[in-house]
Amino acid sequence: MNQRSSNLLDEALGLDQVIEPWPLRGQVVAIEDQVETSGSFVLHHLLKRSLSPNSSNVTIFIAFSQPFSHYDRILRKLGCNLVSQRDNSRFFFFDMLKLQCPGITPEGGLIALYGKIHKTISALPEISWKNVSIIIDDLSLMEVAANGSSDYVLDFLHYCRTLTSEFDCSLITLNHEDIYSSEDRPTFFIQMEYLADILIKAEPLATGLATDVHGQLTVSNKGRNKVSNFHFKVKENVVECFYPGRS
Amino acid sequence: MAAAKTRTSTFSRNLSTAAPSHGPGLKCGPNGTVFLSSGIPDLDKILGGGFPLGSLVMVMEDAEAPHHMLLLRNFMAQGLVLGQHLLYSSPARDPRGFLGTLPSPAASKDDKSRERDPDQEKGLRIAWQYKKYFGENQLDGQRDGKHEYSNEFDLRKPLERHFINGPRIDCVSIQDCPDLSTLRDRCATFLSQFPRNDGSISCAGRIAIQSFCAPQRAYSNMEWDMLSFIRSLKSMVRSSNSVAIITFPPSLLSPSFCKRWQHMADTLLSVKAIQDEDKELAQLLTGYQDMVGFLNVHKVARINTQVY
């Protein structure tokens, strides 16, 4: 398996060594991106790593953004078959594209969602509890589904975070930084950054567009007290990461 | 070295998954996507084939110029000429009136010489900065026989009546909707005609929503309602064989919501007027006198793929 080129990202996350037990267990990973540079490739990469054949990881994917077919095609090119993982109960896909929480009590829908996640994890054999990843794509659409009640979304995230301590699972979220940077009080966003143990920011290059470099990634790993910054180029079946100046 | 031998393997080509043939105006693309034309062949080329079915296109308007209407006109006319269905919505009292301004396909240039006479250029052309570096033959080679997918349009000539009066067009005025549920229902009914399945596609639909912004009677939480309308439209379009275009004035939105809308789009474009008599631009751009505005492509749809 060619892991050479993604090593910088894996290194920054601690995924370059053994992945059993899952190195991100008990941690909250927040991915932030912008209109110019999408961060969904990081999500796809983490999904692929978590479903690696060398690990017994189980992933719960909460999709507000794209349908299953979209991820299936992308992960297939990355070398991971989501359909068979789903059949083997290693991958659970919750399609939330049409979820719209009713106006009066937006929390109703989110409470039900949390209940579903909790039930799914509890139904797994106890051995698997340490190896569960919950991936949410993406948080800004969860706010839309909740009709703008960011407080309820924040509560939901806090509840999910209790899962990281109760079951030792990892929580990986994607959100769009440029939505909140223009707000007066970006409470929701700041809270999320505070909750995160690992922060991955995808930004465009300061110099603008380029063919060889699609953007830069900054990974802040609070646990290891380490900040890494490198450039990336997204390809069909791999993400190439390299230090500035090399490619 | 080895003598040629027929390779026997357990692989046999699965013919049933060969690309199905689709109706008019549709073209297969990579990753299982199917494209339809934007109505502007140059724009199709820039976007890598056209607009993929199931995508949401958003266009940021320029408050000072109506150039987004050119995009809409070409988009709508292209669909009608090819027999695709159209749902058009605008803030006007009678949106049908706009249909009279749709352009007709330009006369075929097969008889004329390959040299492009600048006076003939009455359609909407997109001038790439670097177009002059491409050989003329590379551009014209694709023109013949392409009328099944995309047309050049002549903005001087109105579209023939029979295209506009057909049963395939539906118009909605946003003024009729005190909230967005009526528009949402009309879109849902329209899109139910083109459900997505794995077979060949007989017909595609186009939705064009012009100048989507808060209706006159704004009430609290309106911004979130509009966002949730866009989200539900996007998910309906995603599971159907159609493309939706929404144009909107970004100046009427708060910066934060403007960013949210931009993130919603699969393909994001913006139009900007070019000032007349701008000497610096005149030096920078070739053909400055013929240009009316800038078209920026901010985001290109990535359906079923993580690369452009």
Which of B227, B255, B302 faces A182 most closely, judged by CB atoms? B255
Residues on chain A touching B232 (C-beta within 8 angstroms): 98, 100
Closest CA to B146 of B54, B75, B80, B82: B82
Kindly state whether residue A171 falls inside one of the protein's structural domains: yes
CATH label of the domain that carries residue A66? 3.40.50.300
| A74–B305 C-beta distance less than 8 A | yes
Instruction: Tell me which residue range forms the domain holding B286.
Output: 26-104+126-299
Instruction: Tell me which residue range forms the domain holding A144.
Output: 3-242
Number of domains in chain A: 1
Cβ neighbours of B299 (radius 10 Å): 18
Kindly state whether residue B14 falls inside one of the protein's structural domains: no
Q: What is the ipTM of this complex?
A: 0.90
Sheet of A91-95, strand order: A91-95, A58-63, A132-137, A170-176, A28-33, A198-203, A215-221, A226-234, A239-242
| B254–A182 C-beta distance less than 8 A | yes
pLDDT at B16 over 80: no
| B306–A234 C-beta distance less than 8 A | yes
User: Measured over all CA atoms, what is the biggest interatomic distance in chain A, rounded to whole angstroms?
Assistant: 54
pTM assigned to the model: 0.85
Number of domains in chain B: 1
Over residues A107-117, mean pLDDT? 85
Mean pLDDT rounded to a whole number for chain A: 87
Kindly state whether residue B192 falls inside one of the protein's structural domains: yes
Per-residue pLDDT at B120: 43
Residues on chain B touching A236 (C-beta within 8 angstroms): 305-307
| Both tokens assigned to B143 | 């023109």
**Rounded to whole angstroms, how far apart are CA atoms B176 and B216?**
11
pLDDT level of residue A58 (50, 70, 90 thresholds): very high
pLDDT digits (tens, 9 = 90+) for B22-68: 778 888 888 888 999 999 999 999 998 999 999 999 999 998 888 99
pLDDT digits (tens, 9 = 90+) for B88-114: 999 888 888 899 899 998 876 544 443
Kindly state whether residue A247 falls inside one of the protein's structural domains: no
Lowest-confidence pick of A119-133, A171-185, A223-237: A119-133
Kindly state whether residue A71 falls inside one of the protein's structural domains: yes
Kindly state whether residue A21 falls inside one of the protein's structural domains: yes
CA distance B185 to chain A (A): 14
Per-residue pLDDT at A107: 65
Residues on chain B touching A76 (C-beta within 8 angstroms): none
Kindly state whether residue A67 falls inside one of the protein's structural domains: yes
Per-residue pLDDT at B7: 54
Angle at A172 between CA A167 and CA A173, to 5 degrees: 130
Lowest-confidence pick of A190-199, B216-225, B283-292: B216-225
| B256–A73 C-beta distance less than 8 A | no
CA distance B6 to chain A (A): 30
Over residues A31-39, mean pLDDT? 93
Tell me which chain A residue has its CA closest to the CA of residue B258: A179
Closest CA to B124 of B191, B206, B66, B195: B66
**What beta strand segments (E) does B210-292 contain?**
242-248, 267-273
| Both tokens assigned to A1 | 């398996």
Per-residue pLDDT at A103: 52
Per-residue pLDDT at B30: 85
Kindly state whether residue A191 falls inside one of the protein's structural domains: yes
User: Residue B220 phi/psi, 5° resolution?
Assistant: -65, 150
pLDDT at A82 over 50: yes
pLDDT digits (tens, 9 = 90+) for B139-171: 443 444 456 788 888 888 888 888 888 888 899
Which of A40, A141, A147 faces B306 most closely, judged by CB atoms? A40
For A30, A37, A86, A150, A231, the CA distances from A113, given in Å and listed in that order, are 20, 29, 19, 16, 36
Residues on chain B touching A74 (C-beta within 8 angstroms): 304-306
Burial of B208 (0-12, 13-18, 19+ CB in 10 A): buried
Kindly state whether residue B9 falls inside one of the protein's structural domains: no
CA distance A35 to chain B (A): 6
CATH label of the domain that carries residue B250? 3.40.50.300
**Rounded to whole angstroms, how far apart are CA atoms A140 and B307?**
22
pLDDT level of residue B119 (50, 70, 90 thresholds): very low
| Both tokens assigned to A136 | 């949410």
Q: Which residues between 12 and 71 in chain B have a beta carbon less than 8 angstroms from any beta carbon of chain A?
A: 31-32
Per-residue pLDDT at B60: 95
pLDDT at A208 over 50: yes
Kindly state whether residue B112 falls inside one of the protein's structural domains: no
Asked, as a colleague might, if the bond just before A186 is cis with ω within 30 of 0, I would say no
pLDDT digits (tens, 9 = 90+) for B225-284: 899 999 999 999 999 999 999 999 998 888 899 999 999 999 999 999 887 777 787 788
A78, A54 Cβ separation under 8 angstroms: no
**Rounded to whole angstroms, how far apart are CA atoms A141 and B227?**
9
pLDDT at B172 over 70: yes
